[in-house]
Amino acid sequence: MADPHPGVGAWLLILDWAIRILALLWIPMRTTPGAARSWMLLVAFVPLLGLPAYLLLGHPWLSRERVARQRMASQVIRDEQAPLAHLRWTPVGDGAEVEMAPLIERLGDFMPTHGNHVELLDDYDGALRRLVGDIDGARQRVHLLYYLMFDDAVGDAVAAALVRAAGRGVQCRLLLDAVGAKRGLRRYRTRLQAAGVEVHDMLPGGLRWRRSGRMDLRNHRKVAVIDNRAAYVGSQNLAEAGFIPGFPNCELVARVQGPAVAHLEAVFASDWFIETGERLEVTPTLPLHDADIATQLLPSGPAYPFENARDTVNALIHLARRRLVLATPYFVPDDATLSALRIAALSGVDTQLILSSSNNQRLTAWAQESYYDQLLPAGVKIALSRPRFLHAKHLSVDDGIALIGSINLDIRSFALNAEIGMLCYDRDVVARIRGIERHYLADAEHLDAAAWARRPLWRRSREGIARLADAML
């Protein structure tokens, strides 16, 4: 039978190749080579789906307004630190901190400060009780910035504490990611606002997404600031440990006091300004007399000119000389991070990677397994922690530097999410983290390079296919 529309097939063929050529000219200019290869592969197989998907999700763009506001916030942070030289900590000697401190300040705006106290909280429920207790003790203000808030017992407890604080005349502000905290926003926003709590969602979607940026960019930070007295930073969200059925979380949170409190409040104020346009005053916090831990903040995200979380992690890996331990739930590294880990191990650094045996993101779990073949033969030790889902994110370098926060060792965390990390330049903090790491390792499955190489071919194929989507995970 003759084709009733003989010209349609020709036009579809022309459109098909036009999309491929346009993608070849456009995509490599706007993404990293690794990401460009993944997107080009998708476009080559399904052009009519691949190119629209790339236009929506392929480039981590933010609105000009948000980028400009981040630039303004960074300048304010730098300017307001200038007269506070008495708070600055200056590293001495020839350790890695001598190189890291000025690098972090250039990448993330914050100078290192002395006179801080850092308490490490790895008891999930205990950390949340401490947070609610601090909110109940607040007298001036409570500022909470979180990726996820669930409509469960933890969400109920935090919301009730905020209502009580607002009832005492405490200024309470709550910033929640529009996607991660969707359930919490839906359940608590009206009630909290009626009680006098200011609530805003971050990076909203729907009809407002063009004022934000790429649709899947997220604010992944977890920060709480109570008066000038205490602040929290780490991996823990405002949800019960088992908010994802079958994957009860294991977390690490740092409760800090001292000048770091004001710096964490500056991070909150920056995000508040980016979302609302309102500038909040941040009062410097004095050093503690009975503590002298040096800390330094690293906020990161697509609003910064560089992938500063990735650069920081890679610099720490390269500066390690004896012992390097990295704990993360999601491990989908770029080529630079993968190379840094191999070089560290081959240079004789005792390099330990601690991942979770269980994983709530199956495609990510398959993709990360594909990297083990490149790490195990180089001498990188890989342990799969169990039985809980290891959601904590931290690393320790030699005996003197630790990084704690919300940063995962994956491309999404490095390039797409707004994250927060706190560096501690202190031997005692590192020793305490090493104790926590030993606890992870005691119950872990330790991978053997030879045994891993014998895994079935179908698993290798599955891992390789999942890895093709590394830039999209």
Digit-coded pLDDT (tens) for 401-429:
999 999 999 988 998 899 999 999 999 99
> Which tokens hold the place of 308?
């500063």
Residue type, 279: R
Report the alpha-carbon distance of residue 238 to residue 152 in Å, rounded.
9
The whole-number pLDDT of residue 93 equals: 84
Q: 10 Å Cβ neighbour count for 136?
A: 15
405-to-221, 393, 418 alpha-carbon distances in Å: 8, 6, 12
**CA angle in degrees (0–180, nearest 5) for 360-364-412:** 105
Report the alpha-carbon distance of residue 154 to residue 137 in Å, rounded.
18
Residue type, 59: H
Whether omega before 387 lies within 30 degrees of 0, making that bond cis, reads: yes
The whole-number pLDDT of residue 3 equals: 56
Torsion-angle region of 238 (φ positive above 0: left; ψ -120 to 50: alpha; else: beta): beta
Instruction: Indicate the SS3 state at residue 294.
Output: strand
Do residues 112 and 92 make contact, with C-beta atoms less than 8 angstroms apart? no
Torsion-angle region of 290 (φ positive above 0: left; ψ -120 to 50: alpha; else: beta): alpha
- Work out whether the CA dihedral 285, 311, 396, 333 comes out positive or negative: positive
460-to-41, 280, 362, 463 alpha-carbon distances in Å: 19, 52, 15, 5
In sequence order, what are the residues at sequence separation of 6 or more whose Cβ sits closer than 8 angstroms to the Cβ of residue 37? none
**CA angle in degrees (0–180, nearest 5) for 343-349-354:** 90
Q: Count CA atoms within 13 Å of residue 455 on its CB side.
A: 15
Q: Which of 319, 312, 285, 290 is nearest to 95 (CA)?
A: 319
Domains of the chain (ranges; CATH) run 8-57 (no CATH), 64-101+111-295 (3.30.870.10), 308-468 (3.30.870.10)
Low-confidence ranges of the chain (pLDDT < 50): 207, 209
